[in-house]
Amino acid sequence: MEMAKQGGKRVGAGRPKGTNQYGETTKPVRVPISKVDRVLRFLREREDELPLYGHSVPAGFPSPADDYAEGALDLNTYLVREPTATFFVRARGDSMLGAGIHDGDLLVVDRSLEASDGKVVIVSINGELTVKRLRQAKGETWLIPENPDYPSITFQEQDDTHLWGVVTNVIHSL
């Protein structure tokens, strides 16, 4: 059977612009093979803009998939200001309960911040990592636990004592 031609102008025909999955134009970026899947997940799940809600709720029952009335939050950007100077430490014990640090919490530590008076810091004492609050007074530097059951120590009284960085955030799992 012969097919008849179906010619003629098709003004305005064709796939409309912006009908891709992102709603905007894309461009190729070189990604190391091992990170391709991670980057695709990053883009697919929009991990850099998860919804943030405040205290009041919009009318009805808003969905996280909606546009976020209270804004979007990027966890990495929020928690890590200086990626090359940031690391994590697992907290142990309850010597810093007063600062909201529980046993097993994950601490975000920034080495680029200045460890000034009052900051919560990570120090290694004889090969052991501990969390303490730094106090500088009368020319002396003290490491003070936030729990009266534990003793304070001076920074200099230990031989192998190194200041690792300043704790910026505490991540507590429920």
Partner DNA sequence: TCCATTGATTATTGTTACATTATTCAAGAA
Partner DNA sequence: TTCTTGAATAATGTAACAATAATCAATGGA
Q: List residues with catalytic annotation.
A: 95, 132
The first and second tokens of residue 144, run together, are 């003070």
Whether 124 and 155 have beta carbons less than 8 Å apart is answered as: no
Minimum CB distance to its own copies smaller for 6 or for 126: 126
DSSP 3-state of 73: strand
Q: Which does 14 bind (CB under 5 to 8 A by kind): DNA, its own copies, none?
A: DNA
Q: Which of 30, 34, 66, 151 binds DNA (CB under 7 A)?
A: 30
Q: What angle do CA 143, 147, 150 make, to 5 degrees?
A: 65
Whether 119 and 129 have beta carbons less than 8 Å apart is answered as: no
Q: Which does 137 bind (CB under 5 to 8 A by kind): its own copies, DNA, none?
A: none
Shortest Å, Cβ 125 to its own copies: 9
* Cα radius of gyration rounded to whole Å, the chain: 27
Only segment of 12-20, 79-87, 91-99, 120-128 that touches DNA (CB under 7 A): 12-20
Greatest CA separation for the chain:
101
Q: What are phi and psi of 154, to 5 degrees?
A: -85, 155
Closest C-alpha among 169, 162, 146, 160 to residue 88: 169
Q: Is 22 in the site for DNA (CB under 7 A)?
A: yes
Whether 107 and 170 have beta carbons less than 8 Å apart is answered as: yes
Minimum CB distance to its own copies smaller for 7 or for 64: 64
AA identity, residue 62: P
Shortest Å, Cβ 2 to DNA: 10
Q: Is 21 in the site for DNA (CB under 7 A)?
A: yes
Shortest Å, Cβ 62 to its own copies: 9
Q: Is 33 in the site for DNA (CB under 7 A)?
A: no
Q: Which does 4 bind (CB under 5 to 8 A by kind): DNA, its own copies, none?
A: DNA
Q: Which does 151 bind (CB under 5 to 8 A by kind): DNA, its own copies, none?
A: none
The site for DNA (CB under 7 A) is made up of 3-22, 25-30
